Chains A and B, each alone.
Chain A
Amino acid sequence: MAAANPRPDDLLPLRPVEALILSMLAAGDRHGYGLRQDILEHTGGKLALEAGNLYRHVRRLEGAGCLAESLRRPAGSDDERRIYYRLTPFGRRVLAAEMLRLRSLVRLAEERRVIAPARP
């Protein structure tokens, strides 16, 4: 497993799916299927991840230290076979860095009148 990278910028740009996974975890711990359902909902049904693809990204993010197995369990969940993932502090920084990167891209597009500027 690759050693945790001390600098978030080295991981950028994130793949869109990875950014989505981290964003979902930012709202709370999830297990694999929960991540799928969450992503399905937030992409209007466009992105339906299957297990293989999903865990491939989970493995990469876990290897990079962005997410980790959660030791807490949500109330009411007693299924020991399920593993919940949490966003690590490092992962949160990576996600934030990615979002800032995207924001500057959006700004650029707004300046160039590709899209109308968002109202503040």
Chain B
Amino acid sequence: MSPDPGVRLYRLLLALYPAEFRRHYQDEMVEFYRDRRAAAGTGLISGVQLWLRLVADVLASAVAEHATAFSIRVRRPTRRENTMDTLIQDLRLALRGLARAPAFTVVVVLTLGAGIGAATAIFTVVNAVLLKPLPYRHGERTVVLWNAKAEGPTYNAFSPAEYFDLTAVHAFDAVVSIRGQSSTIIGDGAEPERLSAYVVTPNVFDLLGVPPALGRTFRTGDGVPGTERVIVLSHSLWMRRFGGDRAVLGRQVNVGGFVRTIIGVMPPGIGFPDAPLGFLRERADLWIPTTMEQYRADSRGNQYLAVVARVRDGITPAQVAAELETVSSRLRVAFPNYYAGPNVRVWRYAAVGLRDQMVGSVRPALLVLAGAVGLLLLIACVNVANLLLARGALRQRELAVRLALGADRARLLRQLLTESTLLALGGGGLGVLLARVGVPLLLRLDDGHIPRLQGTGLSGTVLGFSVLVSLATGLLVGLMPALQQSGTELRGALGEGSRGAGDGRERRRLRSTLVAAQVAMALVILVAAGLLGRSFAALTRVEPGFRAQGVLSLTVSLPRSRYDSATKIVAFLGQLTPAVAAIPGVSEASGVYPLPLGGEGWSGSFDVEGLTPGPGDAEPHAEYSVALPGYFHTMGIPLIAGREFSAADTRSTPRVAVVDERLAAKYWPGQSAVGKRINAGEDAGVWATVVGVVGHVHRASLIQEGEPQLYVPFAQHVETTLTLIVRTGADPAALSAALRGALRAVDKDLPTGQLRTMDQLLAGATARQRFNMLMIGVFAVVALGLASVGLYGVMSYLVSQRTREIGIRIALGGQPGDVRRMVVRESLVISVSGLLVGATVSLALSKVVSRVLFGVRATDPATYLAIALLLLLVAALASYGPARRATRVDPLVALRE
């Protein structure tokens, strides 16, 4: 036998063919498989796709071969009719048999339904997120480019000059620049609304290969300053705001302060970027064209663009990387101050496949879930196989009689398989129903954190998968008992009489092995669930650095057309802040940008007075924020030294800054940071004095610690986006209307903006982990239940098999306690062997699992131990009932039997 598990599995699959076919072609087919495997690539996903194809192929052709082999054997002229007749007869027999054992049928269908339903639900998600092609014709050839400033993944933006560098790369036949610009749409009769707009170069839709649903997309010349301002709408905005009116083309609307003409509408499901691309997070509502030409001469340090490119046909990723490296090394020579200075260790242009970029972050979690659900289905299969074995033992005489009367063994085998397939299809039907109910629940649970999941439901692919899984399940659960029954034992069964003494060893061993496997699989799922649970607990224990309770936030974006000077913006805030603070129930009000955990980021370098970085040292770098007076107190961020910003810090007073404890400890270790001076992105020589030190805040996520932090007063660094925050002793959500009203009173044309409580943001920051934990937790509970049922069933069976032996023991003076111990011990032996196998498998998989963990190691001994003990406890409990029954055996009855 080959050591390759794939080959072994494939050989196992080939057992489905008639023996004669197998004898002829098995070896060649295995060779064929090896070639396929070698050509299919090494990725897990290509592996799964290959196996789906292989299993479908083998199932289909094996059934056909059986039919052919059968028709050849009967040698009747009407071959086809005959096969049909037999099939119908088999079906009728199977249905009749199942109807005679309704309890058995219901239990089996329910068990398989649960397994197949869970598998279908998870496959729906995996298919939508990982397998389904991107909705762009050229999606697979599209790459996202990044300014990579360190090893590993970094998502740094490009400057316009760098975008033009990239348009000259020969490996690409189209290059697009994109930047987000959240804009307000006003006029056209409806309420002003904040939209997610993207400013793109006109070739974006040609690059992706997406034609418009209505009108036209951009063409060269659109976006040139001085020409008509045009926009393309997303389908969802068109439906939502314009009611799907086809006359919308040519209509003029005010977006971001300028009148623009609608020239096209994209098809449904296109909102490029449809999943987060680094710092571009939201799906687009509309697109605005630009040529970028007017920015060509901007500083290379002014980086705010995302760049997407389409790789020329036939160019490999390695060639792309090589050409980007050539360009990068040329730039390192041409612009050493940007790309090769003492502060830059590794710099290069890097390309990531669009699909990887979109779903790479959720892939590990989905693969873990898919693995767990696969195991769950296997556990269900084992239970059913065990039930079928038990049922088979009862039917042995019936089958033996039929065999003796001249029935064809293949025919009996086929009939048993018909029965199990019928059961599996019943389970599959139930499973699809369960998935239909479950998938919407799943989507609700996810709450929009998994990319590409929107609008997913049962599709043809998913149904095909369910049918395939059902058929495979039917074969799997039917094959083992069926082969055993139609095998050698039958010959002896008639002679054995009803005692079935000879039925013994092999069958017992088979069933024990099955249960041990079940325990092993349950351990794997439970350990994964335990680890994810502990990760989630660790995550919720993370101190965010602020007090979330009772804080409501409202993000406001001011249109640049009307708020074109710092004075106007400051005046606007001067009106708004007192109005907000005066709302009844508000105890404090302030503002900040960007809001912690709000999804936006801002970071940059700064200078420390008296510190010149040596060669090879990194430049001082920090997460920046602008804050209104009273921000730290309102947000509950501890003030460690000095003071907060106050209303007295204005444009005309000396520059000030507040730093967090980490920044203070890093640059002024052992000294007080208050009074020290830094330059936070201002012109050379403009120093800001540190007036306060505050606690560190988790700004990007709870998982990442983030960089040291630096705050500057809003009045000295005016932004057009700001998040107002208010603290209240009551329910913060109840203030929403009042907060909106205050905003409307100051400027009625502003969009309502985004209202969120800090508690919501905190919950959002743990949402993905909660989703993973809940999903796998449900699987774990079901797996545990199924495994304990399986253990109970097998122990009952083993005890009933040994009634005679136990009777003799008791007759010879054996103590009931000894007998009980014997039974429980046997169950524990089976379980422990299962646990050992399961633990080995779990450890082997720990590398995969570790990618979705936080704050706990994938090999955490405490989790392993706890789960193992839990399973042993379950095993002991499951065997206790049968053990008690064993001691009640009346020796006389047992011997007479």
Contact = CB atoms under 8 A, between A and B. Distances in A.
A51 B72 CA distance: 22
Interface stretch (B61-69, B571-579, B615-623): B61-69
Interface string B635-675: 00000000000000000000000000000000000000000
Interface residues of B, number: 22
Given A59-B24, A81-B27, A33 B60 contact: no
A58 interface: yes
Nearest to B29: A51
A107 interface: no
B314 to A, nearest CB: 15
A86 interface: no
A53 B57 contact: yes
Nearest to B27: A81
Contacts of A56: 61, 64-65
A31 B28 contact: yes
Interface string B49-86: 00001100110111011000000100000000000000
A32 B60 contact: no
Given A55-B25, A59-B21, A33 B35 contact: yes
Contacts of B64: 56
B29 A32 contact: yes
A52 B31 contact: no
Interface of B: 17, 21, 24-25, 27-29, 31-33, 35-36, 53-54, 57-58, 60-62, 64-65, 72
Contact of A32 (B28, B57, B61, B65): B28
A59 B21 CA distance: 8
Interface in A31-55: 31-33, 36, 50-55
A96 to B, nearest CB: 26
A33 to B, nearest CB: 4
Interface centre among A2, A51, A52, A83 (most CB of B within 10 A): A52
A82 interface: yes
A53 B60 contact: yes
Contacts of A59: 21, 24-25, 65
Interface residues of A, number: 18
Nearest to B33: A51
Given A50-B53, A58-B25, A36 B61 contact: no
Given A32-B31, A36-B32, A56-B65, A50 B57 contact: yes
A51 B27 contact: no
Contacts of B33: 51
Nearest to B38: A33
Contacts of B32: 32-33, 36, 51, 54-55
Given A32-B28, A32-B29, A59-B25, A52 B35 contact: no
A5 B814 CA distance: 74
A58 B33 CA distance: 16
Contacts of A2: 72
Nearest to A35: B32
Contacts of B72: 2
27 contacts: A31-B31, A32-B29, A32-B31, A33-B32, A33-B35, A33-B36, A50-B54, A50-B57, A51-B28, A51-B29, A51-B54, A51-B58, A52-B29, A52-B57, A52-B58, A52-B61, A54-B32, A55-B21, A55-B25, A55-B28, A55-B61, A56-B61, A56-B65, A58-B25, A59-B21, A81-B28, A82-B28
B781 to A, nearest CB: 38
Given A32-B28, A58-B25, A82-B28, A52 B60 contact: yes
Q: Tell me which of B21, B28, B31, B60 has the highest count of chain A C-beta atoms within 10 A of its own C-beta.
A: B28
Nearest to A83: B28
A32 B29 CA distance: 8
A103 to B, nearest CB: 30
A54 to B, nearest CB: 7
